[in-house]
Structure 1
Amino acid sequence: MIFASDLDRTLIYSQAFVSDYPASVKAVETGDYYSYMTENAAELLKDLAGRLLFVPCTTRTVEQYRRIGFFQNELRCRYAVTSNGANLLVDGAPDAAYRSDMLKALAHNCAAGMDILQGFGRLSGAGWAGAMRHADEAFYYCIVERDNVPLDELAEFSDWAAKQNWHVSLQGRKLYLVPRAVNKWSALQRVLEMAGDDKVAAAGDSLLDLPLVQGADYAISPAHGELYEQYGGYQLDLHARSQSQSHKRSQCYLNPHPKCWRRVFTESFKDLPNNKQGACSRRHWIFTESSGLAAGEEIIKTVMQLLRPIE
């Protein structure tokens, strides 16, 4: 089995999540930026990685991924998906053949990045968004003033970008503009071919993780983030029905960390990348009971429980 997991806000967390956490934590990234796991989660992940193939799948660039000392020194991974799927690392080095195929897909299947930036420029003139950064020549992101983001206008821009085969995702204070061709599931499919495995458990918290979650046989998401807001809480669904259409569309850009509770369901997905026949596939998707640092630990424990029947 392969366990493919997003990192930030799924398995590892920034300082903002640490201040009120009651148990011991471990700094897995140090230097200019710090990221943390619970001490127990770090040990459990090392144990789990000895029993299956663990593949980090992150929106971080190659350079940003290499800043995580835990994955450079304590838990070296044979494969790692970075840049939201634009790069595949094999034994720490980018896979040139995969990168070449990805660039071809970008050129043929998505609108040009400059066109997307021009559209966004008409929206961001009020100064709530910082300068756009081009990440590994694959996608764009910027830092935003969260309280000043025009949510309705951003939702309209997102609708337009989707027609150009681009995703828009707001995570914390970062706004991402990502071509649909650049996704974690596409990179993981190459890993499946290389590893000769076809069973996948996946974890992720944001809309950028949705292709990964949909493609996996079993998926886990934390009780926070974009996926939880849109799919994880019945109370959120009921609340949305009482709002205006404009307000509903704006809700997808809010990350308020709602009350945590567990929801387990099996969903039918059509025309998934791994569904060659185009028929409905049954996928099992659960949300954790906990949020923040504790959710990362709960995700790892859930995968360990899933592994027992196989062993």
Structure 2
Amino acid sequence: MNSHDPSVRRTPSIPEGVALTAAAVAQERAVESAAPGALVRDPWARKLVDAAVAAAPDSHQQWRWLADGATPGSMVPAMSGFLALRTRWIDDAVLAAVTAGARQVVVLGAGFDTRALRLPWPGEVDVFTVDQPEVVAFVRHVLDGVASAPGVRWTSVAADLTESWPVALRESGFAPDVATVWIVEGLLMYFGPGEVEVLLSAVRQLSAPGSALFTDVADRRVFEVETFASGREVLGDNRSPVRSALDDPATWFAARGWNARLVDPRALAGAHGRVVPPVLDPAGPTFHFAEAVLR
């Protein structure tokens, strides 16, 4: 086939730092999906990773690692089991919220998220995935022709989360007066403290009472502990360094109008027959899982 034929659809390019993070997380889902007793089943993760590796420049070592099958858990031993547990926790929490009546789900900084396609949604729901235009174009290109789960209306919103994304979200059909589930997964730590404040203030303004938010946040130890030294190095190398952390996430959210609690990592891991990942160790956590409901 002629590569210069205008009818040939080329895979869009995506920003390297963002692409590396999104591909690494999807790689973890792909590997978990193939494992016995998997916590996550994502039949599209491998396709997204392979397309990203094929389209990426070969100058960055981490792309070669991904091509060889590396995952965040293998590159950063302290994260072993972390992403699978986080994904399953959010999956279950979101489905429970939709079962209870929420009819909108918004995934901020969605990356290669495929929940609109892979979750067994209990009823009709609008799923909005928000990310940079290049990321949105890439995901839609790779998953072209894949149907959403029954009852799901999946809308991709191309917008930078440090700019006017609330406007783009509303113009895409989002209704602020409808109870919404917000997924803020693997995102906040890459924002500066002021940017976190602005982002979550916008989320609150767009949320009807009863809306819920599920997120993971970095603890102050993330900047210091030796067990996460390789994590800081890997994130720095792909130009996605940790920029913010919260000492007391539950109190932080409560002060901003949310009823919040931290998830007990021992109970969560135990419920799924897994060990507590080192980064969630209650004796010295590097990360927390937090859920909040708007009062």
TM-score scaled to structure 1, two decimals?
0.35
- Which structure shows the higher strand fraction? 1
